[in-house]
Chain A
Amino acid sequence: MSEELLIVKGLTTTFATASGPLTAVGDVSFTLGENETLGIVGESGSGKTVLSRTIMGLQPRTNVAVSGSVQLNGFEVVGASEESKRSIWGTEVAMVFQDPMTSLNPVMRIGKQIDETLRVRLGMDKAAAKDRALELLELVGISSPEQRYRAYPGHLSGGMRQRVVIAIALACSPKLLMADEPTTGLDVTIQAQILNLLDRLKTQMKMSVVLVTHDLGVVATRTSRIIVMYAGRVVETGSTRDVFKHHRMPYTRALLESSPKIANHSHTRLQTIPGRPPNLLNLAPGCAFAPRCAYATQRCHQERPELEPSSEPGHSFACWNPLPASAS
């Protein structure tokens, strides 16, 4: 059993808003070992991005309260000062952001943006940093790196920009890579390329990856474990296979059914989940999904279910009226 790289226990993130406290992430716990890939899946508003940022410690500094524990290679992130967090950012953990147009500094050449990490964090001098940056650009599959080195982000295509973001994230060889919707907003053809690139790199550089997405297709073949989130809480978690084939929570089924499948006949109606995502400021008591759930019972509307283990090891779900076991 490999030493766990990432241990998250009871992580809760609350924003102080003008309309009251908003719990974006509620009591999330999981572990991640070395060389493992975890998928965090959910709709918009499920809290998955807030979760990924909080794990890294990148949440905003004001009006946010975090409780619980996040142990990254022995380093406790929750409650750590900004200064001490800086010691792990880049070298132990790094993030690939969703929109490369906004996550790259638009008025700085991309080469410089990569150099910066190398020179400041690894202490490389100018020439060494440039060499390494060019290596990184090649590593992420950018052709003619010398030319691109001097380019501004605006001159590059979306896919190339995302590769640059990945290069920056990998610059100091972190052990954990948080990929927050890395392909949303890119062309479908590019999406596959970027995901394959990430796969390759994670093996090459022996990293663990947390892949955050709303797209189940993305996690199906690239993750070993999955967490399904709804309204800021984990509603189901287990190995990828178990979640896909032996899921128990109706929301998971609804998610799976709502993505169009190649095997469907043409003109098959797209399944949608009725209703709207919940207002996190005004959560009703009971299970957050109950208002939209086809299997909701009286108890579901009154009492919030906790995660209970299912028949398969490592697989748990939170539901009072789960789907029958081994249904697929």
Chain B
Amino acid sequence: MSELLDEFTLIDRPEKNEPLGPLFWICLGWLALNIFGAIFANLLPLPDPNFGNYSAINAAPGFHHLLGTDDLGRDIFSRIVFGSRVSLAVGAGAMVIGFGIGAPLGMLAAYRRGRFDAVLTTFMYVLLAFPAIIATIAVLSFWTPRALLKIIIVIGFASVPVVYRVIRTATMNIATKDYVVAARIQGATDRRILFKELLPNVAPIGVSFLLIGIATVVILEGALAFLGLSVNPPTPSWGNMINESRTVMAQNPWLVIFPSLAMCLLLLCLNFIGDRLRSHFDVTEVKL
């Protein structure tokens, strides 16, 4: 419906929420495909990702090896699928920790305010001031031997302050809105308010941030791989693959392109889905 706020200010607010669009579903499909591939990689008819066929080094994409082979004769497509396990596990795992700890704390702090909030927030802000990436690198450098779980834990804990801040801010914005105050006045219990008023309104922002967070963590894993801090070879990970490709770039451009493409596509989908969800649920956004 269109509203003439005053004489001249026309607010054009579409009746329905901003549609998600076909591209949204395509991206969601791609994401699902990635997840499926990661979980069921073992069951899929893929060549062993660690088996090096020395008679077919640096092969171009073809029938036997869909995306070619790397400099040790290993099938790239298979390695990419298995590599997605690392990226998705790190992304999801770290966010589970980050959100699992940061989100409830953030919501509680924003809702309760008072000393609890003051102390906790100051603590978190101090943690935030400390460059998280450096801490991550430092810890991972020394916490040998390398393991996927360790990476997930370190990145996960490093992301707690960021999640905390975002969720807290979002909750504060909503908690001060009139309808929450109204609920309070009506005598709703805290628990009810948290679950019925705050959570549904913070959830869209949370989910959107979650997806962006996964994307960020995937990038981080890639960066760590370049520093040799990701999972140990020969375990495939996209970051490792791209890193390894640097030395054989001239002979095998496919080793650069395909893992990069895989990573970028996943990131694109995550970002896009996150953004679409945000604009779909943000009913206050005014269309121009």
Q: Which residues of A contact B (CB under 8 A)?
A: 15, 17-19, 22, 24, 44-50, 53, 280-281
Contacts and interface: CB of A to CB of B under 8 A. Distances in A.
B6 interface: yes
Contacts of B13: 18
Nearest to A22: B2
B7 interface: yes
Contacts of A281: 2
B14 interface: yes
B2 A19 contact: yes
The dominant DSSP class at the B interface is loop
B126 to A, nearest CB: 34
Query: Which of A15, A19, A22, A24 is packed against the most chain B CB atoms within 10 Å?
Result: A19
B7 A18 contact: no
B1 interface: yes
Nearest to A214: B7
A280 B4 contact: yes
Contacts of A280: 4
A18 B4 contact: no
B10 A17 contact: yes
Contact of A18 (B6, B8, B14): B14
A231 to B, nearest CB: 12
Given A18-B287, A281-B2, A50 B14 contact: no
B12 interface: yes
A19 B7 contact: no
Contact of B7 (A15, A17, A48): A48
10 contacts: A17-B2, A18-B2, A18-B15, A19-B2, A22-B2, A22-B10, A45-B4, A45-B7, A46-B7, A281-B2
Given A18-B14, A18-B287, A53 B2 contact: no
A46 B6 CA distance: 10
Nearest to A49: B7
Given A17-B12, A18-B12, A44 B2 contact: no
B6 A44 contact: yes
Closest 8 CB pairs of A and B: A49-B7, A17-B2, A49-B8, A19-B2, A18-B12, A18-B14, A17-B12, A45-B4
A32 B209 CA distance: 59
